[in-house]
Amino acid sequence: MKFLDQAKIYVKSGDGGDGVTAFRREKYIEFGGPDGGNGGRGGDVWFEAVANLNTLIDFRYTQHFRARKGGNGAGSDRTGAAAPPVVIKVPVGTQIFDDDRETLLADLDTPGKKILLCRGGDGGFGNANYKSSTNRAPRRADPGWPGEERWVWLRLKLIADAGLVGLPNAGKSTFLAAASAARPKIADYPFTTLHPQLGVVRLSAAEEFVIADIPGLIEGAHEGAGLGDRFLGHVERCAVLLHLIDGAAGDVVAAWRTIRHELESYDGGLAAKPEIIGLNKCDAMTPQQISARRRALEKASGAEVLVLSGVSGKGVPEVLRRLQNVVTETRAAETERA
């Protein structure tokens, strides 16, 4: 299934049914009064987050959603039938923006969460609604109220506990494959990963978390260089970032600073998230190189640097344990605030 994380769609709720003008016609009843019924309500448009979807690809082919009009009223004071609602199912983590792509209308971040986006129009009144002691034969009947319509943007932000960031070929996909059952594409050229990948890490029966691998960033990504920074939205909800650095590439400090600059330039609070720095590909370095580059990174970042290799698995359990601890602490803090 192709991954798609943005889509523009048109939604319209149903118009209300029309009221009618009718009079009672029955044998032996000399003066039959007005008995025109009201129109039924138009269908609403709802959005619902469901757990078994992880892409917006369906909206590439179906972009217009319209609810039905309510039924018209009828004689004998019969009200028109209300139209059924249209429920649009989207992946968990979908945000709904107005046509300006800036105004957030809804954030469906939990399974089963629903939002009423367009309310169906009310039905019009029939002439029975206007009868009175001074107006015994009204011939007024109203049309139904129109429904609401709008263009909206859907943006998917994957729900993950930990996010992988780094330059292209930093070994993020290899780490994801070593840490989980995910099988991302792995190759020795830049931008192997073209769309985000998710993997579930299970350390024990009671400990597990979801990790997201996004396409690699390069200098100027926030200005559109490379694949740009559009995929950084998928790690906005993460509790912790794992910053992988290719230790065999040479200048590890410059690599770290490049990604940090892109995170700070992206407006999403990513620079303030807890960061675990991993010096990857230790199996391709000598012990002297590992020691020197680790010290340089720790001096530049002011944080501890973990050494690992996604290929051999060395250091991977320690990194996963550190990620799990941060995720557990964040979940506990969120539970207390709730």
Q: Round the average pLDDT of the chain to a whole number and report it.
A: 85
Q: Is there a binding annotation on residue 192?
A: yes
Question: Which of 324, 257, 242 has the alpha carbon at shortest distance from 296?
Answer: 257
Q: Is there a binding annotation on residue 280?
A: yes
Residue type, 266: Y
C-alpha 296/C-alpha 304 separation (Å) is: 11
DSSP, residue by residue, 79-98:
PPPPPPPEEEEEETTEEEE-
Q: Is there a binding annotation on residue 171?
A: yes
Q: Is there a binding annotation on residue 273?
A: no
Is residue 214's pLDDT more than 80?
no
C-alpha 248/C-alpha 109 separation (Å) is: 39
Domain residue ranges in the chain: 1-156, 162-337
Q: Is there a binding annotation on residue 222?
A: no
CATH of 1-156, one of 1.10.8.420, 3.50.50.60, 2.70.210.12, 2.70.150.10: 2.70.210.12
**Percent share of the chain, pLDDT over 90:** 34
Q: Is there a binding annotation on residue 267?
A: no
Q: Is there a binding annotation on residue 167?
A: yes
Residue 18 tokens read as 């029309």
Q: Is there a binding annotation on residue 193?
A: yes
Q: Is there a binding annotation on residue 317?
A: no
Q: Is there a binding annotation on residue 310?
A: yes
Query: 277-333 pLDDT, tens per residue?
Result: 988 888 888 889 889 989 998 898 888 888 988 888 888 889 899 889 888 888 888
C-alpha 210/C-alpha 179 separation (Å) is: 11
Query: 55-65 pLDDT, tens per residue?
Result: 888 898 899 99
**Percent share of the chain, pLDDT over 70:** 90
Output the pLDDT for position 201: 84
Instruction: Give the residue-averaged pLDDT of 158-181.
Output: 82
Name the band, by pLDDT with cuts 50, 70 and 90, for residue 247. confident
Is residue 221's pLDDT more than 60?
no
Strand-pairing partners, residue 97, are 104, 153
Q: Is there a binding annotation on residue 166?
A: yes
The CATH superfamily holding the domain 162-337 is P-loop containing nucleotide triphosphate hydrolases (3.40.50.300)
**DSSP for residue 101:** S
Helix (H) or strand (E) holding 259: helix 252-265
3-state secondary structure of 114: strand
Output the pLDDT for position 1: 47
Question: Which of 145, 120, 125, 148 has the alpha carbon at shortest distance from 34?
Answer: 125
> 1-156 with 162-337: one CATH topology?
no
Q: Is there a binding annotation on residue 58?
A: no
Q: Is there a binding annotation on residue 215?
A: yes
